[in-house]
Structure formats: structure tokens, C-alpha cells
A = this chain, B = another copy of it.
């Protein structure tokens, strides 16, 4: 069974969040983990998959809301849930850890909240102090806030080593 890292973030993302997502995708793929996203051809979803596909033999999975959505061309495996935004719960349930790049969208906030509800660890990359505080209060030890993709990867590696 492959280790899956979910990368979540807005469709209409800030350029900083898009760049973080691209680098995250690349770093995740270099460790031979699978990159899972919402699968569409926009924003953080598209960038994370694009970053991963720069790495040979990488694997990207997209959890699509419906068959009507446009799929990122960097997604290898398209899972069509046909369940609208409730697909956000499939995305987080299928991820061993969830990384959020940008909390400006309600879809991403719902994903972080659903991940915490399911007891999944969440790493916020580049969150504002108010956002970090809000989610740390909600999720306690499950939530970490970091500045860069490299820090996020380091955190995930430590977590995997601990659970070995």
C-alpha cells in the first residue's frame, strides 16, 4: 500500500500558494509518496500534480467532484466521485496526511475540518497567524503550521519515522 499525501488548497490561489504547492508536489514525489489532490486543472490542485510529474515514476491521484469537471493534465489516476463537495471527505479519508496551501477558500477550510474530524494530521503551509491559531485550537496536536514546503516534508518524515 502506497503512502498518500493530500495537497489541498484553493482553485483561485495566491501565486505564493501555487508555488508552494508545485514544490510540495515535487518533494512528495521524490520521496516516492503519492500526491493526492482535488484533481481539477486549476490553482493548488493543478500545481501540486504538476510538481509531482516533474519527477520520473511519480504517481498523482485526483479525486474529482464529478465527470463534468475539467481534469488536470498532470493527474495519472482520475477518481470520479460524483458527489460534489462531499468528495472533500474522500480526499482526506484517503490521505495519510493532509497539507493545506492557502486557506482562503471555503472548500479548503472544509477539507481541513473534515481531516481533523477524522483524526488525520494536518500541516498548514504559509497560514496567517489568525488561521494557524483558529485551526490549532480546533485540532490541537493534529495541526502543525510551517512556512515552507521543505518544513512540511520534514514534519511528515518525522511522523512516519515515529510510527514505524
Q: List the interface of chain A (C-beta within 8 A of B).
A: 1-2, 4, 34, 59, 61, 63, 66-67, 71, 73, 75-86, 88-90, 93-94, 104-107, 109-110, 113-114, 116-118, 130-131, 133-134, 138-139
Min Cβ gap A94→B in Å is: 5
Please give, as numbers and ranges, the residues of chain B lying within 8 Å of A113 by CB-CB distance.
106-107, 109-110, 113
Please give, as numbers and ranges, the residues of chain B lying within 8 Å of A75 by CB-CB distance.
1
Assess whether B86 is in contact with A83, with CB atoms less than 8 Å apart.
Answer: yes
Assess whether B81 is in contact with A90, with CB atoms less than 8 Å apart.
Answer: yes
Closest Cβ neighbor of A134 among chain B residues = B134
Interface centre among A34, A66, A77 (most CB of B within 10 A): A77
Assess whether A79 is in contact with B94, with CB atoms less than 8 Å apart.
Answer: yes
Q: A106-B139, A130-B130, A130-B134 are in contact. Are A93 and B81 (CB under 8 A)?
A: yes
Assess whether A118 is in contact with B85, with CB atoms less than 8 Å apart.
Answer: yes
Alpha-carbon gap, A113 to B71, bound state (A): 24
Min Cβ gap A28→B in Å is: 14
Alpha-carbon gap, A117 to B82, bound state (A): 13
Q: A75-B1, A113-B110, A131-B134 are in contact. Are A82 and B80 (CB under 8 A)?
A: no
28 A–B pairs (Cβ distance < 8 Å), ordered by A: A1-B73, A61-B77, A66-B84, A67-B118, A77-B77, A78-B94, A81-B90, A81-B93, A82-B89, A82-B90, A82-B118, A83-B83, A83-B86, A83-B89, A84-B93, A85-B117, A86-B86, A86-B88, A88-B114, A90-B90, A106-B114, A109-B109, A109-B138, A110-B114, A113-B113, A130-B130, A130-B133, A134-B134
